[in-house]
A and B are shown apart, each in its own frame.
Chain A
């Protein structure tokens, strides 16, 4: 793999960043990554990122939780050992269902929430002892960094980014 270079444009205002993203996109350059200290509202739209599907995943996980709760309690309370506990009708699942609803609800929420969080960690590659991928520590405090791959158009990119209000522009070797 050839040693590639990326250009890092650093901004110190999210509004300037948003404007910069729009003009870079208008010039049809591909933005590799943007590092910000906090969520910038509308940045994903301006970058043209695809919407997240994590809510759909969560819905399906919730359905799994509901099925797990139902099958579990149907087996334990109705099929395996249908005791008479305080006169509750354990002849069929439906007859005793109100008593199971709190558990069905909680397991649905439990599965939806936890599996969704784990999905989020996996998809965004976050785990303990993971090496932080931060090109510039200031981006966790008060600076915004836009990263664009250089394909021999270093001068053009440099001028464009300077025009958009970048306070600092560095060309560095791609680290990943």
Chain B
């Protein structure tokens, strides 16, 4: 069945993009506070806030805490008791000012990554369907192809923001992009970051990113091409080709996804490292990808465009949402518990900052990503009810946005975070872009593959 994007949907997408862009611009303009402005703001906070009569003492104390947390200031400065309070004060104000400048950058980056990860998760899921020769899913393969159309532009935007934050911006997301950090003669020299400069330097970062994106997009391009060619073929040659490139892609994907998560996410905290981080990011992106597949399938079905999709298909998608939510929690907990238990200072600062400054998002996302889907999607009857799946999916997507937020924000904006105009506007902008690209891509081919060898099985799929 051919799909034509409705004018209302296209208009919604465009409005989202325009409103989002305005909000993002507003975020960039208002965040650009000068030193004096930040100073007055902090002073008024100190007097109104916790009633410290002695402003200098408060600044000193806050700064020490932050030194311990961030660790990237050089450890000598803070411990000299009473050593030039004014200097400490300047440092503190500078620190807060940078955090404020980072906020619109990070908000934009988090939203860009979030939507990119949906497309990438859907692409991995798509490849899995071919490799496992699934009989249930061929009916919704075209939906997945539509979603993965966002991958190329989305991933390029993520990479562009990352590189721009270090070239036109002031190292607003990735501190290691600052050349002073690897320059031994500089006051900002950081031995740990300098030791990693063989991997963490802007050129290598950009080139690696382009290689990842090229690999993923090539797979996406050819699988889409063969999938459309298969519709008109007389044999299954194209299907076999997709099978083979899917198997190859999954190998490539697992390596590059892992490296991508070190580069694009973990390196915002260049002092911190975790071995299962790539898996953790993978689990999150799979949940989001599958949830969006379920959303778009339900949307198209509600328009009567996917008549053969029955509640068993929805049931299967909901089962994947449920299972990957639990898998995500398993990895989240494995990472958290190992670090919490051994409590090694160089690792544990990561969670100390998050629990101190991000208590609600940090534990809130656990409820959204684990407890909510666990209880909502456990019952097998509920998994067949569209509004139930949508409700659970909305919570899951919200939870995983906060998950990405928790990964990026503590490193760049620290305790200056807030979910306000820059964050919501960035989300709206990318939501609009995502809807626009995905639904335009859906119009480019029939919504159901016609000559997939498993399409009959999928049409009669019943659980």
Contact = CB atoms under 8 A, between A and B. Distances in A.
A42 to B, nearest CB: 10
Contacts of B41: none
A98 B343 contact: no
A55 B382 CA distance: 14
A99 B343 contact: no
A98 B378 contact: no
Interface stretch (B72-80, B272-280, B307-315, B334-342): B334-342
A167 interface: no
Contacts of A55: 380
Label chain A's interface by main secondary structure.
Answer: helix
Contacts of A118: none
The residue in A87, A98, A99 that gathers the most chain B C-beta atoms within 10 A of its C-beta is A98
A101 B333 CA distance: 9
A99 B378 contact: no
A101 B366 CA distance: 14
Nearest to B330: A105
Interface residues of A, number: 6
A99 B341 CA distance: 7
Label chain B's interface by main secondary structure.
Answer: helix
A59 interface: yes
A101 B380 CA distance: 26
Interface size class of B (residues with CB under 8 A): under 10
Contacts of B380: 55
A48 to B, nearest CB: 18
A59 B380 CA distance: 13
A59 B374 CA distance: 12
Interface in B301-351: 333, 336-337, 340-341, 343
Interface in B356-401: 378, 380
Contacts, number: 12
Contacts of B341: 98-99
A87 B340 CA distance: 12
Nearest to A55: B380
A46 to B, nearest CB: 14
Contact of A87 (B336, B343, B378): B343
Contacts of A59: 378
Contacts of A98: 333, 336-337, 340-341
Contacts of A87: 343
A99 B340 CA distance: 9
Interface in A38-81: 55, 59
A75 to B, nearest CB: 22
Nearest to B337: A98
A44 B62 CA distance: 68
A65 to B, nearest CB: 15
B343 A101 contact: no
A54 to B, nearest CB: 13
B343 to A, nearest CB: 7
Contacts of B340: 98
A158 B380 CA distance: 41
Contacts of A101: 333, 337
A87 B341 CA distance: 10
A103 to B, nearest CB: 12
Nearest to B340: A98
A98 B333 CA distance: 8
Nearest to B339: A98
A31 to B, nearest CB: 24
A157 B340 CA distance: 71
A55 B333 CA distance: 26
A50 B73 CA distance: 68
A99 B333 CA distance: 11
A87 B343 CA distance: 10
B370 to A, nearest CB: 12
Contacts of A99: 337, 341
Interface string A81-117: 0000001000000000011010000000000000000
Contacts of B337: 98-99, 101
Contacts of B378: 59
A76 B78 CA distance: 42
A99 B342 CA distance: 11
Contacts of B343: 87
Nearest to B380: A55
Interface in B406-451: none
Nearest to A99: B341
A31 B291 CA distance: 44
A131 B343 CA distance: 59
A98 B351 CA distance: 13
Nearest to A102: B337
B383 to A, nearest CB: 13
12 contacts: A55-B380, A59-B378, A87-B343, A98-B333, A98-B336, A98-B337, A98-B340, A98-B341, A99-B337, A99-B341, A101-B333, A101-B337
Given A99-B341, A101-B333, 10 more contacts: A55-B380, A59-B378, A87-B343, A98-B333, A98-B336, A98-B337, A98-B340, A98-B341, A99-B337, A101-B337
Q: Which 5 A-B pairs have the closest CB atoms?
A: A98-B337, A98-B340, A99-B341, A101-B333, A98-B341
Interface of A: 55, 59, 87, 98-99, 101
